[in-house]
Amino acid sequence: MQLREKQKAKFIYGVLEKPFRNYYAKAERMEGQAGENLMILLERRLDSVIFRMGFARTRREARQIVDHKQLLVNGKSVNIPSYLVKAGDVIEVKEKCKSSQRYKDIMEVTGGRLIPAWLDVDSENLRGTVSALPTREEIDVPVNEMLIVELYSK
């Protein structure tokens, strides 16, 4: 069961084994519970934030958008999907990409999606702000992180 929970979390966020283990090690060093910290770290990844903002239909598409340098974080181009956003970061789609048909289609599909309270999104201008870091209660991923903690603490 523990391994299955870990595999589920890895699959949902699209993270391989080694980076996932690194996230867990970082989560253990942070203040608070390791399981909650792990979920918060995974949710703070740039590709995950783009998906949550509704700028991508899936996490894989969000990862591709980041890889193709179509985003600006605080005015700078970032192409690292694992980039950890901080509170106050402004994320926007580059000007030349905003008018593309791809983003019109994406916004049509994701228009009704619920945006978490820790994100402020201006979908007209394809821009969003990380107003605060997420809490575990705001992350609606069906993963029991305590089983992952138990697995890694063996």
Instruction: Domains for the chain: give ranges and CATH numbers.
Output: 2-145 (3.10.290.10)
Length of the chain: 154
According to the model, what pLDDT value does residue 131 have?
95
51-96: pLDDT as tens digits: 999 999 999 999 999 999 999 999 999 999 999 999 999 999 999 9
Amino acid at 104: K
Between CA 94 and CA 71 the distance in angstroms is: 5
pTM of the complete model beyond 0.95: no
CB neighbour burial string for 25-46, b if at least 16 within 10 angstroms, e if fewer: eebeeeeeebbbbbbbbbbbbb
pLDDT at 123: 87
Please identify every stretch of the chain with a pLDDT value under 50, giving residue numbers as ranges. Answer: none
Q: How far apart are CA 13 and CA 62, in angstroms?
A: 11
